[in-house]
Structure 1
Amino acid sequence: MDVADVSGVPLWVTEHLREEGIESLYPPQAAAVEAGVADGDSIVASIPTASGKTLIAQLAMLSAVDRGGKALYIVPLRALASEKREEFAAFEAYDVSVGVATGNYEDSGEWLAGKDVIVATSEKVDSLVRNGAPWVDDLDCVVSDEVHLVDDPNRGPTLEVTIAKLRRINPNLQVVALSATVGNAGEMAGWLDAELVDSSWRPIELKTGVQYGQALHFGDGSQRELRVGSNEKPTEAIVRDTLAEDGSTLVFVNSRRNAEGAAKRLANTSRDGLDDDERRQLADLAEEIRGVSDTETSEDLAACVHKGAAFHHAGCSSDHRSIIEDAFRDRLIKVVAATPTLAAGVNTPSRRVVVRDWRRYSGDAGGMKPLSVLEVHQMMGRAGRPGRDPYGEALLLAKSHDELDELLDRYVWADPEPVESKLAREPSMRTHLLATVASGFADSRAALLEFLDQTLYASQYRHGPDGGEDNLERVVDATLAYLETNDFIDRGETVEATNLGHTVSRLYLDPMSAAEIIDGFEDATTPTVLGLYHLVSRTPDMYELYLRSGDREEYTMLAYERESEFLGSMPSEFEEERFEDWLSAMKTARMLEDWASELDEDEIAERYGVGPGDIRGKVDTAEWLLGAAESLAGELGLESVGAIRNARKRVQHGVGEELIDLAGVRGVGRKRARRLYDAGVETRADLREADKAVVLGALRGRAKTAENVLEAAGHRDPDMDDVTPDATAVPDTGADGESTESTESGGSGGEAALDGQDQSNLGDF
């Protein structure tokens, strides 16, 4: 189908597509147009990665805007929101305004009312609905990218309920659901009252198979020789072979440690495939990575990048991940070893994908468990970029002939599992039932059940397996009882949220987190910082640090030493599971206390065995939970509000109490605040009236930094021309060396900069 034959879209779209080199639509795109995607009809598009899903979404959104409507693009990750914002920015030349929203879950997002296309994570959309964003009523088109993630136990229910609510608000809403791996796409289309576009067409061939011995064994029965040297591992041989054809390789492993180890080994292979210009560019890139954070993770990553390799996992900072993704897309970095989260939609195609580890540890299984077919197919779909690769290959690795047969049967020849709703999980149901009542979607048990009938869960599990007791009613009744017991709802003739329930829903808290915090407040007349950090660390909304070998004894001793600071009674050591959770929360709280005591990031990373991304994630989550605790304390009229606010500000900036005011100045942050304080500039007011020579000295002679800081503080003359640093204010060069200047201003960078407020456990992996 020629692009000029697409009806329903603005006239400029054809011209724009031709400028982008698109003369005709791919077959799946043409099928979507024929199904009415540009005419306002709902569709489920189950088509392979790189087959044009984004253009299908654009045709739907731009036609909706052309009809005078508004479109919403829901993404699973904040990183994807940033990526899509850049991609859609081209439409602004045609007077289509684009906005992005990802963080700050108390914000109603009224500023988005003037935007034609809005990009947001499912969690953000859910919070906007809860907080009554008025423009939600005006939506005409909603695109759900990676819709198979409704199957995810942690994040899927939010996407599912959000889609159901948006369809309830706007009965004529067009829903465009996109995925490369839906085993039951027809069932999904039935749930959404949508037409199904189901295709296996790809613009370039993707061959999937298994490496075993000295050959690649493909699913179509063909083979190709690939010699593995006597001193080589199979992955190294695959990378070497791919480099010989000027291709890149993406290797999926099952843990962060394995990702780092694989990258270090594969760097010795990738360095042989670099030319002189690439070596120079990679040397600069390695220095940029070192500037992100002064940690062992940063140094290890830079060493790999210097040789053309990298690792990618959640322990890396957002800036690290962004740098690696960009360089890999540009084929400057030749090989990336990653955990499976990189397969979740971020645009990182490669010539070859290697699924090295097809099992990972599962606590539920008590050991190693095979990955799902859906997950493996998501990884495999990263192979092959149209216009860059002549083909794509995705390979698993076998150690025996029996394993070769098993992998072909289990993954290569298998279809993805059906997507199944996880809404009935206890945390999901209590969170979303409260939000449904608090936001006015339902005011009775019957109305709740009527609303939930519109979810995927109801269509799949409306009745128990024996056709007797209604499963949905049983779950709803148990959840309503919990919410009533904890004073979040009142149940009489109607079901209504209490003032407390409204607050909990607005704060985007799991009601069990709110109950834990409120119970802890009973002992919170003069709470300590550690006590407050421990309180929020033991809520379901905080992912606690794991106890490593030897940690139990250390943190048991610490727990008894500081027992008086806890908000709530410490469980007995004989209550194994509860006590272990208590100690994990203790470890998390101690890390937050170290951060708020200005311990260097590299020392924290080494002490707790975490990466800079983990530190940032825990800090952001703690700040959010303490902000929620502050609101709850205010709602309950407690005297501890000031202490909670103090603890929140300290963890937000990573500073002692005396630096809170100074660190809050834009561009200052934890280390610059300490240097200024030590030079006698102790408050924002002091900075506003400060001697410029003292400020310049404290900031190590960095004139532009000093100007920006003084301007942010409101100094009457921030200009640093002809100013000489005061030598007495220059700090000694020590552990907080120059390499940290680039990030010490306190922001988490990357996608976190989209709104300035973020909760890393929400909407990110």
Structure 2
Amino acid sequence: MDNYTGLLHKTTIQSAREKGRMSFKTNAVAGQKRPFNDERITSTTARTTNNSHFSRPHTREKPRIKPGLVVDVEQSIPSGPSEYTQREEISATPRASVDPYLSLSHLRYGIPQELVRNLEDMGINQIYPWQKQCLLGPGLLSGEKNLVYSAPTGGGKSLIADIMMLKKVVMDPSAKALLVLPFVALVQEKVRWLRNIVRGIHREPPPTSSRYENDKNPWRQRADRDAVRIVGFFGGSKVRATWHDFDIGVCTIEKANGLVNTAIDDCSISSLQTVVLDELHMVDDEFRGYILELLATKILSLEHRVQIIGMSATLSNMDILATWLDAHSYETHYRPVPIREHLVYDAKVYPADTSAALFSVGFTSKNNGAQLAAAPVREIQNSQNKELQESILNSVVALACETAWAGYGALVFTNSRVGCEADALLISRAMPTWDSLDSETIERRLDVLSDLRSLSTGLDTVLEQTIPYGVAFHHVRLSHHEYKYPTSSPVPPAPARRVILHGARMGRDLVGPSMLRQMRGRAGRKGKDEIGETYLCCKPQDLEHVVDLMQGELPQITSGLAPKSKSLHRAILEIVAIRLATSLESISDYMDKTLLRHSSEHNMSREEINSTIDYLTSSGYVSQGPFQTYQPTKLGKAVVASGLDPEDGLFVHREFKRALRAFVMDGELHILYAFTPVNEPAAQVNWQVFRNEMEELDDSGLRVLSFLGIRPTIINKLAQGGTLKESTPEEKDQSRVYKRFYLALQLRDLCNELPVYQVANKYDMPRGVVQSLAQTCQGFAASMIKFCDIMDWGVMSAALDHFTDRLRAGARSDLLALAKITFVKSRTARVFWDNGFKTVAIIANAGPDELVPVLMQAQPSKLRLKDHDEEKYKEKLLAKAKVIADSASRLWQMQIQEELDAYAAE
């Protein structure tokens, strides 16, 4: 945290206002910078522009509200400069002219000049002193030593791993690297970033004397063999690349684990040289952490050295992690954009510095209530509007609007979906009126509304009311597009000048130190803000907890493995299935390399290992071979290859065994049921909707219902308020069948081109959940096809594989070819089809001007400008039509080449 003196009781918003530095646009709350005017608080009649040619949003404008003013509290000003004031006066980071090691072109780093130039093109002209110290750690640049390091969010930690990984891959053409991230959005963003970094870089192919000297060398077969190929791997991805098709694989945790398992099993793992584990604190995650631990432990168990680079902004016991990974450790608290932290209580703002009086004087009692004895630096006056009578709500709206009025972005965290929408609506009602905005801002917001309304997911009615005033929000019920369009980054949440926490709870539980640090770390944007601010608005009943929380230590990271648990079952099954360990001794050696061995005093005993092997043997996953060794069964290999937990694998195996006896092929539901994940936490069933859909099923659907053991009498009872029993293992499995079928019904409608928002409304599901379901099922479908292949169920595999294209396109069979064209999704494809553009060739041979009218039909309920600006709208559609025509031309050429190749083969 930054030191805080009396000089700093003015907010950075005030400082910017006084110095006239209003140069930053914002998408988070206000969409347009503007000079600050105190009259904006007391009057909604701000300056107007000639906006008569713009259409207003099709919503009834609610009465405007005025939050209380945020004012200074007069107090004595201590002497002496703070860290922040020094940063304003002089550059806090030395330049490369002062320290040559701050330039990545320095010979000590040994980075290829092409890579250095690309980094400079991306705005990375030099590194920070802490990055220099970290990179020059013992054996790091040579790949001889692993690295675990921690740096605050926004401190430049990702660049360290990028440099080490890219240097290895660029300089060693035979080397491969994996970069592991926890979320799909992060994977997609990182792929785009890395592709820009390696653009134009050419490598020398491996020498013929290397391990790639045979004619079947995949390097020689790749057309781009001298380039650095970046491929993203995540659930629902269209990519079917193999281990040989990439140089750097950017993966989710589960995909990375699967890739490593496959490479160990087929003995191609020797090319792996670097593994980056981003967000390393996720190893402590309750649900997925143990998979990350298993991945790292397998890497540590390989015969050749693989450099492991682990990083996070919230690592506590780094010494244990460094010992586990045999790594050099480095920690820094440096942020290029420093953060000022505040506590807001009883409409007063207190500086939350560790050395401030706030924590040294503690609490005093007055009228049986807690009070802070420290002096506030600012106060938030009461509002005259009844909607803002609650002190904490008034504070949140006032602080958010103050930020936006000054031309900066604010990010507000709330504890629930309802609270998120309520805060967004109130903040939007306090923002400048529609007539006060300039034409550029209005056009940009209209474009966002238009784009969202044209998507199959539809547009949330509350978001439709807030976007015109520069306010967006995001929660689970919204689609991915509704987050991506209004904000500046696809990775939630985007950084902002000011972060405001509406209370210290997420749901009913208090925010933990790790989550609090993650949220506060979003304040301040490198290159856009010179400072970041956080405000934790605290309720009276939480005050004492909040004071402890703001100074609390991060919890210790522990292992997710435990005796007699599914995580231990999976750990041992995986290493036996890929032949990494096949005896009691080698299994014990493997377990000694886990984080469990280093994070607790518990040593995995032979009895516990034997107990796990007995479970795997009795389940049909493992059999005992000669000389006290163990080998996987076909089922064991199928479960590991498909990424299932052993317990889930048994359920899937039983379902498929039953399906093999009587698979319903004259409809879609049985196949779609097979594509539905076995564990879908968001599968909340509306039993009345279930009953209605059941009554509409045709003969094929009813046979599937009967075959799965779903009883209509049970559905009727549940629709009348009954409860689905889940006490015994048998009841839990049956409950899983009912929930999977409910999701299969949704997939059926999606594959038949029903828009996401209509599916969500029909089944009483959040639109974001329905959209995620469609993507998750694509990844699960690929796993089920792999499961069937390994089990030698070729007919079942072929049936499933035939339907995956429809699942991916979200369309009927006649549109599958059109849906491969860029920008042509299921709805747009249907409009093209209905207008006579029924093949890729027809679209490829059409002029972009011919496609514009079709695209206009595919934009229902679109908010458009008046006739005055209709040409601008058509220009945007024409640019989109050109991309569609170019994409269709490429696909058509590929089709022609395939036909020629097939003819030549005959």
Please tell me the TM-score bracket, short chain as reference. 0.7 to 0.9
Greater alpha carbon shift after TM alignment, 279-288 vs 577-586? 577-586
Q: Does 1:75 align with 2:75?
A: no
Give the drift of 1:417. 0.8
Instruction: Look up the equivalent residue of 1:58 and give its one-letter code.
Output: D
Identify which of 154, 165, 173 aligns with 1:50: 154
Which string of whole-angstrom CA distances, capped at 9 and with x for unpartnered residues, describes residues 500-538 of structure 1?
A: 322232222333333212212344213364455456547
Give the TM-score normalised by the residue count of structure 1.
0.77
* Cα distance change of structure 1 residues 358 and 497 upon mapping to structure 2, 3 Å threshold: farther
8 Å Cα contact 2:750/2:810 also seen in 1: yes
Instruction: Look up the equivalent residue of 1:239 and give its one-letter code.
Output: A
User: 3-state SS of the aligned residue for 1:38?
Assistant: coil
Q: Pairwise mapping of residues 381-530 of structure 1 onto structure 2 (< 5 A)?
A: 381-400=521-540, 403-410=542-549, 412-424=550-562, 426-461=565-600, 463=602, 470-471=603-604, 476-492=609-625, 493-524=628-659, 525-527=662-664, 529-530=668-669
Which string of whole-angstrom CA distances, capped at 9 and with x for unpartnered residues, describes residues 203-245 of structure 1?
A: 2321223211222223213743141542332221110122243
Q: State how far apart, in whole Å, the 2-side matches of 1:518 and 1:487 are.
A: 11
* Cα distance change of structure 1 residues 240 and 28 upon mapping to structure 2, 3 Å threshold: same
Identify which of 261, 277, 297 aligns with 1:130: 261
Match of 2:745 in 1: 590
8 Å Cα contact 2:191/2:232 also seen in 1: no
Give the drift of 1:375. 1.3
Identify which of 355, 367, 375 aligns with 2:501: 355
Q: State how far apart, in whole Å, the 2-side matches of 1:604 and 1:71 are.
A: 40
Which string of whole-angstrom CA distances, capped at 9 and with x for unpartnered residues, describes residues 560-590 of structure 1?
A: x958625544598673453655543343233
* Cα distance change of structure 1 residues 488 and 227 upon mapping to structure 2, 3 Å threshold: same
Give the drift of 1:545. 1.5
* Cα distance change of structure 1 residues 356 and 563 upon mapping to structure 2, 3 Å threshold: farther
Instruction: Look up the equivalent residue of 1:92 and give its one-letter code.
Output: R
Identify which of 303, 323, 333 aligns with 1:200: 333
Say what the alpha-carbon RMSD is for the aligned residues.
4.1
* Cα distance change of structure 1 residues 137 and 672 upon mapping to structure 2, 3 Å threshold: same
Instruction: Look up the equivalent residue of 1:38 and give its one-letter code.
Output: L
User: 3-state SS of the aligned residue for 1:131?
Assistant: helix
Q: Does 1:251 align with 2:353?
A: no
Match of 1:763 in 2: none
Give the drift of 1:477. 4.0
* Cα distance change of structure 1 residues 417 and 472 upon mapping to structure 2, 3 Å threshold: farther
Give the drift of 1:294. 4.5
Q: State how far apart, in whole Å, the 2-side matches of 1:529 and 1:20 are.
A: 48
8 Å Cα contact 1:512/1:539 also seen in 2: no
Q: Pairwise mapping of residues 145-160 of structure 1 onto structure 2 (< 5 A)?
A: 145-160=278-293
User: 3-state SS of the aligned residue for 2:663?
Assistant: coil
Q: State how far apart, in whole Å, the 2-side matches of 1:20 and 1:596 are.
A: 41
Give the drift of 1:181. 0.7
Greater alpha carbon shift after TM alignment, 9-18 vs 59-68? 9-18
Match of 2:232 in 1: 101
* Cα distance change of structure 1 residues 473 and 531 upon mapping to structure 2, 3 Å threshold: farther
Q: State how far apart, in whole Å, the 1-side matches of 2:161 and 2:757 are.
A: 43
Which string of whole-angstrom CA distances, capped at 9 and with x for unpartnered residues, describes residues 383-428 of structure 1?
A: 112332222122222121x522321212x11121112221338443
* Cα distance change of structure 1 residues 637 and 192 upon mapping to structure 2, 3 Å threshold: closer
Q: Does 1:7 align with 2:108?
A: yes
Give the drift of 1:49. 1.3
* Cα distance change of structure 1 residues 318 and 474 upon mapping to structure 2, 3 Å threshold: farther
8 Å Cα contact 1:39/1:63 also seen in 2: no
Match of 1:64 in 2: 168
* Cα distance change of structure 1 residues 170 and 139 upon mapping to structure 2, 3 Å threshold: farther
8 Å Cα contact 1:653/1:670 also seen in 2: yes
Q: Pairwise mapping of residues 523-562 of structure 1 onto structure 2 (< 5 A)?
A: 523-524=658-659, 525-527=662-664, 529-534=668-673, 537=676, 539-540=678-679, 542-547=680-685
Give the drift of 1:160. 1.8
Match of 2:448 in 1: 285
8 Å Cα contact 1:28/1:51 also seen in 2: no
8 Å Cα contact 1:99/1:119 also seen in 2: yes
Q: Does 1:565 align with 2:705?
A: yes
Identify which of 92, 99, 124 aligns with 2:199: 92
Q: State how far apart, in whole Å, the 1-side matches of 2:779 and 2:568 are.
A: 22
8 Å Cα contact 1:45/1:197 also seen in 2: yes
Q: State how far apart, in whole Å, the 1-side matches of 2:307 and 2:856 are.
A: 62
Instruction: Look up the equivalent residue of 2:631 and give its one-letter code.
Output: E
Give the drift of 1:35. 1.8
% identical aligned pairs: 23
8 Å Cα contact 1:92/1:98 also seen in 2: no
Match of 2:725 in 1: 575
Instruction: Look up the equivalent residue of 1:399 and give its one-letter code.
Output: K
Match of 2:297 in 1: 164
Q: State how far apart, in whole Å, the 2-side matches of 1:161 and 1:177 are.
A: 14
User: 3-state SS of the aligned residue for 1:409?
Assistant: helix
Greater alpha carbon shift after TM alignment, 448-457 vs 181-190? 448-457
* Cα distance change of structure 1 residues 655 and 54 upon mapping to structure 2, 3 Å threshold: closer
Greater alpha carbon shift after TM alignment, 202-211 vs 4-13? 4-13
8 Å Cα contact 1:531/1:567 also seen in 2: no
Count of residue correspondences: 676
8 Å Cα contact 2:669/2:704 also seen in 1: no
Q: Does 1:191 align with 2:336?
A: no
* Cα distance change of structure 1 residues 25 and 407 upon mapping to structure 2, 3 Å threshold: same
User: 3-state SS of the aligned residue for 2:473?
Assistant: strand
The higher relative CO (CA closer than 8 Å, separation ≥ 6) is in 2
Give the drift of 1:373. 1.2
Match of 2:485 in 1: 323
Identify which of 446, 449, 472 aligns with 1:310: 472
Instruction: Look up the equivalent residue of 1:31 and give its one-letter code.
Output: Q
8 Å Cα contact 1:295/1:605 also seen in 2: no
Q: State how far apart, in whole Å, the 1-side matches of 2:810 and 2:122 are.
A: 46
8 Å Cα contact 1:108/1:128 also seen in 2: no
Identify which of 504, 517, 531 aligns with 1:377: 517
Q: State how far apart, in whole Å, the 2-side matches of 1:722 and 1:180 are.
A: 48
Q: State how far apart, in whole Å, the 2-side matches of 1:570 and 1:62 are.
A: 53
Q: State how far apart, in whole Å, the 2-side matches of 1:722 and 1:576 are.
A: 57
Q: State how far apart, in whole Å, the 1-side matches of 2:407 and 2:849 are.
A: 52
Instruction: Look up the equivalent residue of 1:85 and give its one-letter code.
Output: V
Q: State how far apart, in whole Å, the 1-side matches of 2:587 and 2:683 are.
A: 37
Q: State how far apart, in whole Å, the 2-side matches of 1:271 and 1:566 are.
A: 59
Instruction: Look up the equivalent residue of 2:599 and give its one-letter code.
Output: Q
- Identify unmatched segments of 5+ residues in structure 1: 330-340, 362-367, 464-469, 676-695, 747-765
Instruction: Look up the equivalent residue of 2:317 and give its one-letter code.
Output: N
Identify which of 742, 750, 765 aligns with 1:610: 765
Which string of whole-angstrom CA distances, capped at 9 and with x for unpartnered residues, describes residues 671-725 of structure 1?
A: 46666xxxxxxxxxxxxxxxxxxxx6x4447xxxx3xx633xx56x952369999
Match of 1:719 in 2: 845
User: 3-state SS of the aligned residue for 2:179?
Assistant: strand
Instruction: Look up the equivalent residue of 2:155 and give its one-letter code.
Output: S
Q: State how far apart, in whole Å, the 2-side matches of 1:391 and 1:70 are.
A: 39
- Identify unmatched segments of 5+ residues in structure 2: 1-98, 204-227, 359-375, 715-722, 864-876, 885-906
8 Å Cα contact 1:350/1:385 also seen in 2: yes
Q: State how far apart, in whole Å, the 1-side matches of 2:413 and 2:857 are.
A: 41
Q: State how far apart, in whole Å, the 2-side matches of 1:564 and 1:61 are.
A: 50
Which string of whole-angstrom CA distances, capped at 9 and with x for unpartnered residues, describes residues 103-155 of structure 1?
A: 37995624445x3x443333222121122277642233322211111111222
Give the drift of 1:604. 0.9
Which string of whole-angstrom CA distances, capped at 9 and with x for unpartnered residues, describes residues 82-110 of structure 1?
A: 32233332343444724122137995624
Q: State how far apart, in whole Å, the 2-side matches of 1:513 and 1:566 are.
A: 22
Q: State how far apart, in whole Å, the 2-side matches of 1:163 and 1:471 are.
A: 18
Q: Pairwise mapping of residues 620-631 of structure 1 onto structure 2 (< 5 A)?
A: 620-631=775-786
